[in-house]
A and B are shown apart, each in its own frame.
Chain A
Amino acid sequence: MSASNAKRRIPWDSLAVFPFVLFAVMFLFLPTLSLLGAAFTDRAGNFTFENIAGLFTDQIMAAYWISIRVSGASAILGALCGLAITLAIIRGKLPAGLRSAVMTFSGVASNFAGVPLAFAFIATLGRLGLATIVIRTLFGFDIYRQGGFNLFSFWGLTLTYLYFQIPLMMLTIAPAIDGLKKEWNEAAQTLGASTWQFWRYIGFPILWPSVLGTLSLLFANAFGAIATAWALTGSNLNIVTVLLYNQIRGDALQNPGLGAALAVGMILITSLANVIYLAVAARAERWMK
């Protein structure tokens, strides 16, 4: 009896949770707090708002703005396309086997990001890419010279990001679309509603919070991305992650405090997106029982 009591005294619970808490503190809390501190400290170690004020230069504001635009455009387009495809597959009476195949592919594509994705789009839509050449030989239309297209630009990056944004949307929105009960559709039809009216007054209002929530997830997902942009455009497109990458590499802004402020600004923007997500997700769950 005393032996088992002695065994009991080993605080297994706290011991088991300790590594997790240690990880959270060492690799999430402290690094973030350290940057937050550095953002408000000058070279001599005094408190200052100068780093934050230093963010409001043309170069840095332009970097934030283009990042916000690429993330916003790829999130909105990704959400719309993902929603359309998922609706087509789940509610469009397509063959049942298609759904699991498409969802498996989505799992792969949503993880096929970073450098290889950039390579794939260069091989497709680069100046010597297959799609570029096929369009030129078939239609006599040069998307670069006549179409004004450039893969290493805002639209090029957005189009590339969609390759992981659309599947992510599909994976997160599918459960919500499954949650639209058949009975609601039947009830609406019995009461004489048209397909349009069903979606306008029932389907879409129920899906809306999930769509909005996923939208902010997609935004944060694109906003923090760098590998794809780096491999695709190098330093051509001055998005904020590329600017920060150069700052970490070689103090490109020539001011460590400003670099920290840049990072803190990024955290602020992605947290705003996620606060919206959490608030909206709480609302969405009411209908997803």
Chain B
Amino acid sequence: MKSQKFWAWFVFALGAAYFIIPLAATFEFSLRMRRGEYSFDAYASVFSDPQFAASFTYSVLVGLFTIVVGILVVVPAVYFVRLRMPWLRPFMEFVTLLPLVIPALVLVYGYIRLYGSSSLIPFTGSVLGTDILLTCAYVTLAMPYMYRAVDNGMRTIDIGTLTEAAQIMGANQLQIIGKIILPNILVAILSGAFLTFAIVIGEFTIASLLNRPAFGPYLVGIGTNRAYEPAALAIISFIITWGAMGMINVLGRFAPRTSARTD
């Protein structure tokens, strides 16, 4: 049994080394911009770059729109399918699996072909249209995660009884969703939102092929032109991802503990 514990620690240490060394090395590298001493010059250089602020703000905005549209598309659909149309569930499961099967690169290729400036719905014909298309592409990309988060949230509350109770009290459908269901699955929705944010914020493929000035393409540009700033940006990105995931963990503690009917 002693040897079992030794091997467990050994495997854990190896894994920890693989995951920590790149982070440590990147952090060390990002401090080396000034010759002969450690400094935060690379970070100062990144933060003073107007391109950084512009592309980051753009991606945050697109991310927020993606979250709002994602919630509006997924929450009502999951609610009504669970409540009234359970026969649609396999279809939903299939649709939300597709973005994991079809690479984002292939999807955006399809968008460019379908929604080009000379097509029926010329999304890419204008800047606003391309922004809308980018948002919709991100909603699609984040759909598997948003769907699963919301679906898990609705599983833990008893939407059938809640809906009946609200109807007896005279609530209409909008009130039921807005005032009863949403607050009860808020934690699940926010988890999906933060995961969406983590996916969208540094996304490169779609933004670059749609020619939008997002954070991902900006990162690639910096990577080809600069030496120390990419390392600083990698650390900044890691902290952002950590923040989004940390929020999900913190939120998990506030999840409602009522359980669904099992009959």
Contact = CB atoms under 8 A, between A and B. Distances in A.
A173 to B, nearest CB: 14
Q: Tell me whether chain A's interface is mostly helix, strand or loop, or mixed.
A: helix
Given A163-B19, A267-B101, A27 B107 contact: yes
Interface string A236-272: 0000010011001100000000011001001100110
B111 A270 contact: no
Q: Tell me whether chain B's interface is mostly helix, strand or loop, or mixed.
A: helix
A19 B246 contact: no
B136 A31 contact: no
Interface stretch (A50-58, A102-110, A139-147): A102-110
Contact of A227 (B7, B22, B85, B205): B205
Interface residues of A, number: 80
Interface in A219-242: 220-221, 223-227, 230-231, 234, 241
Nearest to B238: A112
A18 B4 CA distance: 55
Given A115-B204, A115-B223, A119-B230, A224 B241 contact: no
A224 B101 CA distance: 8
A31 B111 contact: yes
Interface in A98-122: 98, 104-105, 107-109, 111-112, 114-122
A247 B8 CA distance: 47
Contacts of B137: 27
A112 B80 contact: no
Contacts of B238: 108, 112, 116, 120
Contacts of B22: 120-121, 123-125, 163
**Max chain A C-beta neighbours (<10 A), residue from B77, B198, B199, B209:** B77
Contacts of B7: 88, 92
Q: Which 10 A-B pairs have the closest CB atoms?
A: A31-B110, A92-B8, A224-B103, A130-B25, A16-B76, A20-B77, A116-B237, A123-B29, A119-B234, A227-B204
Given A7-B172, A116-B234, A225-B103, 4 more contacts: A88-B7, A92-B5, A123-B30, A266-B106
Interface of B: 4-5, 7-9, 11-12, 15, 18-19, 21-26, 28-30, 72-74, 76-77, 79-81, 84-85, 88, 92, 95, 97-114, 136-137, 139-140, 143, 172-173, 195, 198-199, 202-205, 209, 216, 219-220, 223-224, 230-231, 233-234, 237-238, 241-242, 244-246, 248-249
